[in-house]
Amino acid sequence: MLVVDDKYCTGCKVCEKNCPTGAIKVFGRKARIDNNLCNECYRCVYACPSSAIKQKTGIREKIDVSGKKDLKELSGVLDELRKKLDKIEAGLDKIGSKGK
């Protein structure tokens, strides 16, 4: 989940313009992210000139697998987690390559 740090957001709308899903809107000179629309492509993170958009940390997503009865259902949950991890790793690679 991506969040906007209001301390750094200047309301420049660069993130809004770079969001392919329309998940970001600027209100009152502060960006807001609709996480129901966000696909976590990280374009806003890379585009933000003030580094105001970040991955939310500190709270880990708890995944309920108690209702899953077979290996196929659990495999689907694992596939979704792998996709999320791949997105995060790709984002970290892009951030790391910016400094080179």
- The span from the CA of 67 to the CA of 74, in Å, is 10
Read off the pLDDT band of 89 (50, 70, 90). confident
Residue closest to 22 by CA, chosen among 38, 9, 10, 11? 38
Mean pLDDT of 40-63: 82
- The span from the CA of 26 to the CA of 33, in Å, is 9
Of the two residues 98 and 17, the one the predictor is more confident about is 17
pTM of the model: 0.56
Read off the pLDDT band of 87 (50, 70, 90). confident
Mean pLDDT of 15-40: 94
Interval 62-73: pLDDT, tens: 666 666 667 777
Mean pLDDT of 74-87: 83
pLDDT at 99: 54
